[in-house]
Chains A and B, each alone.
Chain A
Amino acid sequence: MSDKVTFTVDGKQLEGKQGQLLIEACEESGIHIPRFCWHKRLDPVGMCRMCLVEIDTPRGKALVPSCTTQITDELSVETESEVVKKAQEGVLEFLLINHPLDCPICDKAGECPLQDQTMAYGPGESRFIEEKRHFEKPIPISDIVLLDRERCILCARCTRFSEEISGDPLIEFIQRGNKTQVNTFPDEPFKSYFSGNTVQICPVGALTATSYRFKARPWDLKKVSSTCNCCSLGCSVELNVSQNKMLRILGEDNEYTNQGWLSDKGRYNFEYLHSTNRLLSIHSKENENFENINISEANEKITKKIQELGNPDIKFIIGANSTNEEYFVINKFANLLNRNEFLGKDNSNVYFADDHISNGYFGDQYENATFEDLDSSDAIVVWAEDIKDNLPVLYLRIKKAVKNGVKLVIFGHTNTALESLADLYIGSEVISNNFEIQKELSNIKELKNIINGKKVTTIIGKSTPLQQKKSLDTLIDYLQKVSDLKILNCFSKANTFGALQQIDQLKGLNEFCTEYENSKKNIVFTIGANPVNASFFGSQIKDILQEADYVISLDIFKNETTELANLILPTTAFGEKEGTITNMEMRVMKQNKILPDPGSTLSEWEYLVMIAKSLGEDINYENVSEINNELVSQYKTTVNLPTFDNLNKPSNLFGILHEKEINLNTNDVEKNNISLLMVKRLYGDSSTQINSQSISMLGSERFIELNSITLNKYGIQSNVATLTQGSASFFVNIKINNFLPDNLVIAPINRRGFEKLDPTKEFDIKETKNMKELSVN
């Protein structure tokens, strides 16, 4: 039987796929059937009855919901008959019985499916004269989401999302009949990394986000598509701006990457753009105090300093939030200084603000995977840092693939959150606390059953910077031998792959520390990087920057690193600059500018071009498209180049998959004894997050995870304790995680103060009386 089905809608012959839902098949053929509960990324429920259509059945014509009806051959459908119209009017009249008509003060008004469809399909007036039901308006169901139960039409989109897609069903229908409401359990807030998606898919104004509430009317918003840079997944987003203020970020449904979803970090991490703490003018340190100076003074200072120091060693520490174009200019700038023999020729002087970058698996002998390969492979093998916290939407993609029958193998100990999805979780019996493989992989029968001779996609990267790469090599060798392997290199930070592609040879902060020579004259540029905070080498780098002859920081906020700079140059941020970024599939996508440059900020490349010019270098770009043009001209092929023109094509959500050679040649770390596993959490103390009011507090909890045997070893009964190491001492909450091996304690690295901890040194955990006991005694 062919999988093509022919059916008739309103007298027109249409074609669809076998088993397809009627509403979807119609949509694809351009016939819109009104709906509230149906969403193409969620399982159908048929709750709202708005999509009723008339079909021919053996017993005559019948009204059926098109979201739960599959198309069959020769099915005849009426979507605009009198009966259907009456049904639609009836459904809307029912829905409006309890829905308050507070559109003038509702954030959804103007983009509200209920409002729009009432206009298009509604009865025009209601016969209902009784009192509507009332609830407290609105109640917070988490720190960032508010719920107005009066407006809710019970479509179950949010509850289905939380159960099917994100897998944290913390909201549900409570009560029944006229009393039915969506709610959380008392004292169990909707604490999900993905809660913002429910706000976006809510077809009425029932779920609203604290950051957008009462900020704008949808018809006043200026919109532009862009690509999120919170992690290296490259989610397609729509930026919403009103009066030059970013007010909202929505997920765009990009089949290839995020499929409509965003993490709350990607969605709500934007208020910092308008924070009063933003760096808006150039600061120069004179006698330990920062003074405002103008751009030509700054330029003069830099050139003078470089000339004055004679033959200084110039090093660059770069962050992950620059665009490919900016990295391209950084690379060129760094090379120019090289050629002038400020520095030996074979020495790279660009360092990525990350500890111990591993070399990854690039090059011809490895086949690069895309996210689509996750769905089409037989098995997914994960050995990487915590995916749910560092690449949240990739977690959704994995969850979806598993739901569709793809087998999942997880290697410990950082991805315990994925254990419940996994077919095979390989923990301490195979992997030591130092992430060494202790058992011949070919002897693990369960693993063999899942991967032998199968199509396998692996997500591979170091679990922690201190891990040796050796075990990853062993795993990749084995997988290549026994399976048809595709590889997703896992570097989670924003545009890491852009940096890898554009910088000739990138190194990490450990190389920076070892290659820095005190005896020389030194100039250090930090570009969008804060290596003093959130790095194992933080204190070492602090000493270096204090010692260096001149430090120039390009950043958007003052932070621990800029405090040590001699000159701070304010730069533009997400939404204020145009460019391309490369995600972890090496998909190049476009970031667009919608906000003006605030204050006297400039893009990173503008500063560098300016400095280069005054040093007499031949580097001249008028605008970012010129850089983009030159950047793509260096690719080996000429088709599908990631030019602005190509990427700006309407609905080009695919982006462009372009593999540019990546040259990484770092040394493996020496063997460490990891006792404290420092893991990066989604929310932390980054300057962008703490300056975004709505989410600033989400990364404040200090906690450690350990298994109950380890907990017993420390003799701790309560759920709070004090973690001490040297002079550092923290009051921490304890989370039991029994998938962890004995004697391994997980602590978040991006929480205030935790960067002081040394993961390889001894530490102690002591019982602390919890607050209740303290106040009683």
Chain B
Amino acid sequence: MRWETQRLEKAKQIIKMYPQKRSALGPLLYLAQDKDGYISNESIVEISSLVGITEVQVQSVASFYSMYKQEPTGKYLLSVCKSISCEISNSSEVIESVKEFTGLSNNETDDQNLFTYESVECIGACGGAPAVQVNYETIEGLTPDKAIDLCSWLKETEPKVIVADELQEKFGGVKSFDWAIEDNTGTSSPVPGFQTYDTLKEKK
């Protein structure tokens, strides 16, 4: 299926930000992932014609990075960090509690297509370990109980857009950065990334 006009417009906006078209590949793949929850072959074809490289070159990049999903995920992708800083801050129990709540093991999606669970390497939130990402929006300073609260809240309310700040306030603890970026429209933001702590407030 072809991309809808709005998504194409956004893609063109993103491409304009780079001196070479193909440099926009990364953010365009986020757009693709936002569309289907994974990078579909149809999206690869679309991107290939947008930036003027072959399909297989797009696929090469898309399949290299583990955060570009190659298969559909559930509505909420739960990525729990298992790296060293989180591990010494008790992430293994957070992992256990999320696994138990969802009944999933690594890289599995439940039958309702609600949750996909994965344990991941460092997500760069060591200052607020242990940390979890929901659809790549980061929540820091979790405890095993808060993690369960987070999951059950997601299950009950099924929010349309995940906003890091909101979840952080509800379930998080110590935090290292202000993860929210100005354009809070989920994974389709133009340049994925984060601003350092408090910069968002200054801007406002």
* A binding-site residues for B, Cβ under 8 Å: 168-176, 183-186, 188
Contact = CB atoms under 8 A, between A and B. Distances in A.
Q: Specify the main secondary structure of chain B where it touches its partner.
A: helix
Interface in B34-91: 41, 44, 53-57, 59-60, 63-64
Given A185-B44, A186-B41, A169 B64 contact: no
A171 B54 CA distance: 9
Contacts of A173: 60, 64
A184 B63 CA distance: 13
Nearest to B62: A174
Nearest to A190: B56
Contact of A175 (B41, B57, B64): B64
A169 B63 contact: no
25 contacts: A168-B54, A169-B53, A169-B56, A170-B54, A171-B56, A172-B54, A172-B56, A172-B57, A172-B59, A172-B60, A173-B64, A174-B56, A174-B59, A174-B63, A175-B63, A175-B64, A176-B63, A184-B56, A185-B41, A185-B44, A185-B54, A185-B55, A185-B56, A185-B59, A188-B56
Contacts of B41: 185-186
A174 B54 contact: no
What 3 A-B pairs come out closest when comparing CB atoms?
Answer: A172-B60, A185-B55, A185-B56
B5 to A, nearest CB: 20
Given A172-B59, A188-B54, 16 more contacts: A169-B57, A170-B54, A170-B56, A172-B56, A172-B60, A173-B60, A175-B64, A176-B63, A176-B64, A184-B56, A185-B41, A185-B55, A185-B59, A186-B41, A188-B55, A188-B56
A174 B55 contact: no
A174 B62 CA distance: 8
Contacts of A184: 56
B122 to A, nearest CB: 16
Contacts, number: 35
A174 B58 CA distance: 10
B105 to A, nearest CB: 19
A126 B57 CA distance: 35
Contacts of B54: 168-170, 172, 185, 188
Contacts of B55: 185, 188
Interface string B158-185: 0000000000000000000000000000
A188 B55 CA distance: 8
Contacts of B57: 169, 172
A173 B63 CA distance: 9
A183 B64 contact: no
Contacts of B59: 172, 174, 185
Interface residues of B, number: 11
A171 B53 CA distance: 12
B14 to A, nearest CB: 22
A170 B59 CA distance: 11
A170 B54 CA distance: 7
A170 B58 CA distance: 11
A632 B101 CA distance: 90
Contacts of A169: 53-54, 56-57
Contacts of A186: 41
A190 to B, nearest CB: 9
Contacts of A185: 41, 44, 54-56, 59
Contacts of A188: 54-56
B48 to A, nearest CB: 8
A490 B41 CA distance: 42
Nearest to A188: B55
A14 B41 CA distance: 53
B176 to A, nearest CB: 28
Nearest to A168: B54
Nearest to A184: B56
Contacts of A171: 56
A179 to B, nearest CB: 9
Contacts of B63: 174-176
Nearest to B55: A185
Interface string B9-51: 0000000000000000000000000000000010010000000
A169 B64 CA distance: 17
User: Which among B41, B53, B54 has the greatest number of chain A C-beta atoms within 10 A?
Assistant: B54
A431 B42 CA distance: 39
Interface in B128-184: none
A733 to B, nearest CB: 19
Nearest to B48: A185
A46 to B, nearest CB: 18
Contacts of A176: 63-64
Contacts of B60: 172-174
A175 B59 CA distance: 9
Contacts of A170: 54, 56
A173 B56 CA distance: 8
* Most chain B CB inside 10 Å of its own CB: which residue of A184, A186, A188: A188
Contacts of A168: 54
Interface centre among A168, A170, A172, A184 (most CB of B within 10 A): A172
A169 B52 CA distance: 12
A184 B55 CA distance: 9
B92 to A, nearest CB: 24
A168 B57 CA distance: 11
A170 B60 CA distance: 11
A172 B41 CA distance: 15
B58 to A, nearest CB: 8
B180 to A, nearest CB: 30
B133 to A, nearest CB: 20
Contacts of A183: 56
A334 B57 CA distance: 57
A169 B60 CA distance: 11
A183 B59 CA distance: 10
Contacts of B53: 169
A93 B41 CA distance: 37
Nearest to B59: A185
A170 B53 CA distance: 10
B55 to A, nearest CB: 4
B35 to A, nearest CB: 19
A170 B41 CA distance: 15
Nearest to A179: B63
A184 B57 CA distance: 9
Contacts of A172: 54, 56-57, 59-60
Nearest to A174: B63
B106 to A, nearest CB: 16
Most buried by A among B44, B55, B57, B60: B60
Contacts of B56: 169-172, 174, 183-185, 188
A188 B41 CA distance: 11
A185 B42 CA distance: 11
A184 B59 CA distance: 9
Nearest to B54: A169
A187 to B, nearest CB: 9
